[in-house]
Structure formats: structure tokens, C-alpha cells
């Protein structure tokens, strides 16, 4: 398959990314395409859809050998499930699938059509294989059975994010930052209350500890100002 483009997001690493697309609407992404796929006519009619399917590459999770079973983090990392019963990145083919909201399309002189989307769950720079419209009357199945995932929804934490620390981040990133932490970015099998964690989001290292179901932020570091990671523009 050909890589047709890449997505820019606020996540330089996998840690902290929501476990599924659409969980946090405030997480934005921008999809730009390779030169040979920038013809405006290829996108004719796409603006009439509110949501799209994005097929992408698990570029950060490639393995030389693939096991038949995996241990989903939301099951504590101890219960093995068949790889085809999960959305694990460690698959025979490194293909990811996300349903995101199409905010708008911008037709630019230098990059051609650019898609602005929300509800993303991808690392910054993720390669894109394909774009398809989400069709409500065939793609939505409210009566569908959910397997083991039905028991893993409600795990939100109470987040204490002191206002002086939250103010370090741009205002338009603050709500998303809080919601990322509410989702509990730690692996389900990691419950060490003495350990400090850090989520890198939008150029900031958000450091926190968790006690019970309460997550407390104790430090926010501007990584670029500290001479570290600089987000891809």
C-alpha cells in the first residue's frame, strides 16, 4: 500500500493517547497529503460528510514477530485475548482504523487539500493509508455486542490540576489536557501510587501521581523552552 499523507497531532509519543478515537473531541489533527495525492478533485464531495474513517500505520509499534494473543492493557495486562478480538497495534499488518470528525477542508496553494479533524488518537507524524467517508446508516450499529470492552468503559479518574499549573498551557489546550488525564493514561496493570508519571502533550510535559481514583498534577514543563522536543508544524 502507498502512504498518501501524514497527520500532525499534539502527541509526540504513544503514552497518553486515548485508547480509541472520538473519546476526546478537543484533540485536533491536521492531515496533509503527499504531492501525488493533492488533486482537489479527489476530495470533491468529502466536505458534505461530518465524519471520516482514517486508515493509518502503526508506525511506532512494529514488531518482527506477531503473537496469536495479546494482553489488552484495559484488562490489567494479565488476560490474553486473540489478536483479532482486540485493536492491539501488534498485528499481522500494522493498520490502524480511526473514526474522526471532519471539521473542515482547507485548499492551500502549497500543500493542496488539508483536512482538519478532531477526536484523534494518533501520534504526531503518523502515516496515512486512506480516507473514507463515515456513512451513518451502514456504519452505526447501536445493537452491536461489545465483547470484553463493555466492562472497560468507566475508568475515569478525578483530576486535580492546580490552576497555576494549568495556566502554563495555552487556553485552547487546557480542556483536552484534563480529559486526557481523566482517561487514566497509565497501563491498567500499573498501580504504583508512589510513582510519578508524565504525559507529553502539545509541547508540555504534564507530570502527575495517582492515589486511588484521584490524579494530581504536580508539575507542567514547557519542553521547547527547556530545550527539548519541538512539535512538528
The model's confidence at residue 90, banded by pLDDT at 50, 70 and 90, is confident
Q: Looking at residue 62, what is its pLDDT?
A: 66
Q: Looking at residue 154, what is its pLDDT?
A: 60
C-alpha span between 75 and 40 (Å, rounded): 44
pLDDT at 97 over 50: yes
The model's confidence at residue 5, banded by pLDDT at 50, 70 and 90, is very high
Tell me the per-residue pLDDT of 134-184, one tens digit each, with 9 for 90 and over. Answer: 999 999 999 999 888 776 666 789 999 999 999 999 999 999 999 999 999
Beta-strand pair 158-160/214-222: parallel
C-alpha cell belonging to residue 62: 512494529
Q: What is the pTM of this model?
A: 0.89
C-alpha span between 90 and 132 (Å, rounded): 23
C-alpha cell belonging to residue 202: 502539545
- What's the chain's Rg over C-alpha atoms? 19
Amino acid at each position: 500500500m502507498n502512504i498518501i499523507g501524514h497527520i500532525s497531532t499534539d502527541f509526540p509519543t504513544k503514552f497518553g493517547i486515548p485508547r480509541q478515537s472520538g473519546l476526546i473531541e478537543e484533540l485536533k489533527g491536521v492531515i496533509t497529503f503527499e504531492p501525488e495525492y493533492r488533486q482537489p478533485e479527489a476530495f470533491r464531495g468529502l466536505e458534505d460528510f461530518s465524519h471520516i474513517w482514517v486508515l493509518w500505520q502503526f508506525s511506532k509499534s512494529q514488531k518482527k514477530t506477531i503473537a496469536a494473543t495479546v494482553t489488552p492493557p484495559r484488562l490489567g495486562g494479565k488476560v490474553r485475548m486473540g489478536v483479532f478480538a482486540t485493536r492491539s497495534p501488534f498485528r499481522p499488518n500494522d493498520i490502524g482504523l480511526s473514526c474522526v470528525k471532519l471539521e473542515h477542508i482547507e485548499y492551500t496553494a502549497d500543500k493542496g487539500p488539508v483536512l482538519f479533524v478532531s477526536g484523534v488518537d494518533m501520534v504526531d507524524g503518523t502515516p496515512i493509508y486512506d480516507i473514507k467517508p463515515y456513512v451513518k446508516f451502514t456504519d452505526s450499529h447501536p445493537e452491536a455486542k461489545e465483547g470484553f470492552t463493555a466492562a472497560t468503559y468507566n475508568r475515569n479518574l478525578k483530576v486535580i490540576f492546580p490552576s497555576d499549573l494549568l495556566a502554563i498551557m495555552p487556553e485552547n489546550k487546557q480542556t483536552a489536557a484534563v480529559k486526557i488525564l481523566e482517561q487514566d493514561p497509565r497501563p491498567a496493570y500499573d498501580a504504583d501510587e508512589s510513582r510519578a508519571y508524565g504525559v507529553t502533550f502539545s509541547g508540555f510535559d504534564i507530570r502527575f501521581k495517582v492515589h486511588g481514583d484521584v490524579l494530581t498534577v504536580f508539575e507542567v514543563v514547557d519542553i521547547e523552552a527547556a530545550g527539548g522536543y519541538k512539535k512538528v508544524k
